[in-house]
Amino acid sequence: MKQTISVLVENRAGVLNRITSLFSRRAFNIDSLAVGVTDDLTLSRITIIVDNGNSVVEQVEKQLNKLVEVIKVRTLDESSLIGRELMIIKVSANKNNREQIMTICNICGAKVADISPTSMTMELSDTPDRVRTFEDMMRPYNILEVARTGVIALQKGGGKI
């Protein structure tokens, strides 16, 4: 089962290294990992998606908590989290199929970020599922390049971790 771990850490050089080395050493698999600074510039939030059993996730949480630069760790409740991923996708496009591609973009809520005589580049921020659907729909148009950020997430409601 996929689980989303949200980690608040000191925004300092070397912190990410400590976290990834902890994962590799204890053979915990990471599906995705995204880092960014928070409203407090001394803090970064790391969102980690893992696909492991519950006891493994519990142990991951405890080991993360032991790191001096980790301030808070929380496994988010899957039924009430807002998880988003950004994808930038470049496909071959010309005057014959641009309209079709635009239709799919409109249905999926993707925006065109760049256009050239032979290509189109779209951006989409959505749940990982819907991002994947959009990617599948683009497949017939010869995907040239894809970049995805990995999921970032917050819990719904007024609380904070």
Partner 1 sequence: MEMTGARILMEGLLRERVEHIFGYAGATICPIMDALMETPEIGYTLVRTEQNAGHMASGYARITGKVGVCIVTSGPGATNLITGIATAYMDSIPMVAITGQVPSNLLGRDIFQEVDITGAVTPFTKHNYLVKDAAQLPRVLKEAFYIASTGRPGPVLIDIPVDIQEQVVPDVTFPEEVHIRGYKPSVRGNDLQIKRVAEAISQAKQPLICAGGGVWLAQAREELVALAERYAIPVVKTMMGISLLPVDHPLNMGMIGAHGNRCANKALAKSDLLIMVGTRAADRAIISPDEIQRRMATIHIDVDPAEIGKNMQAAIPLVGDVKVILQQLLALEVPAPDAAAWRACLKEYRRAELTREFPRREGSVFPGTVLRKLGWRLDDDAVVCVDVGQNQIFACKYLPQKHGRLLTSGGLGTMGYALPAAIGVKVARPDRQTVVVCGDGSFQMAMNELAAIRCADMDIKIVLFRNHVLGLVHQLQKAEPYHGPYGVALDGSPDFESIAAAYGIPSMVADDEDKLDETLDRFLGTRGSCVLICEVHPDVGTND
Q: Minimal distance in Å, beta carbon 66 to partner 1?
A: 6
Question: Count of CB atoms within 10 A of residue 8's CB?
Answer: 18
Q: Minimal distance in Å, beta carbon 19 to partner 1?
A: 10
Residue 21 or 38 with smaller CB distance to partner 1: 21
Q: Minimal distance in Å, beta carbon 123 to partner 1?
A: 35
Residue 65 or 103 with smaller CB distance to partner 1: 65
112 lines the binding site for partner 1 (CB under 8 A): no
> b or e along 116-133 (b: 16 or more beta carbons within 10 Å of the residue's beta carbon)?
eeebbbbebebebebbeb
Binding mask 60-99 for partner 1 (x = CB under 8 A): --xx-xxxxxxx----------------------------
Residue 18 makes CB contacts below 8 A (sequence gap 6+) with 67, 69
What is the rounded CA–CA span in Å between residue 23 and residue 33?
A: 11
Binding mask 27-66 for partner 1 (x = CB under 8 A): ----------------------------x--xx--xx-xx
Taking CA atoms, 71 is separated from 64, 65, 128, 161, in Å, by: 9, 7, 27, 10
Residue 12 makes CB contacts below 8 A (sequence gap 6+) with 69
Residue 67 or 86 with smaller CB distance to partner 1: 67
Query: Which residues of the shown chain bind partner 1 in the complex (CB under 8 A)?
Result: 9-10, 14, 17-18, 21, 25, 55, 58-59, 62-63, 65-71
